[in-house]
Amino acid sequence: MTTLKIDDKINEIIERFLAELLLKDGVKIDKKTLVEKAILWAIKNADFIEKELLNEKIEIEKDPAWILLEKPMSWGIKDASTKIDEFLYGG
């Protein structure tokens, strides 16, 4: 068995949720079972992890790299491929 430390605020939320389950639905679940089931559900629902937990899923249209690819900045030359070799290797 592994010990998992969680923030006091999160612990309070879990305790409140478990109390509400017991009062409203008459369902008694221990904290360990709730946390295990929540973790398993989150793993099975990877899109939830990406969107809600990590907050890193950026819509591709809003991604700065995508925007630069769609609307590249002008360097003042039509084809940079010849300038790349000059820049990298000296010309």
Q: Of 44, 40, 31, 43, which is closest to residue 4 (Cα–Cα)?
A: 31
- Per-residue pLDDT, 58: 56
CB within 8 Å of 35: residues ≥ 6 apart: 4, 14
- Per-residue pLDDT, 54: 60
Distance (Å, rounded) from C-alpha 20 to C-alpha 71? Answer: 52
Average pLDDT per consecutive 10 residues, the chain (91 residues; last block may be shorter)? 89 96 94 92 80 61 76 71 74 63
Note the pTM of the prediction, 2 decimals: 0.51
Extract the tokens encoding 20: 């509400």
Residue 11: CB atoms within 10 Å: 12
- Per-residue pLDDT, 30: 94
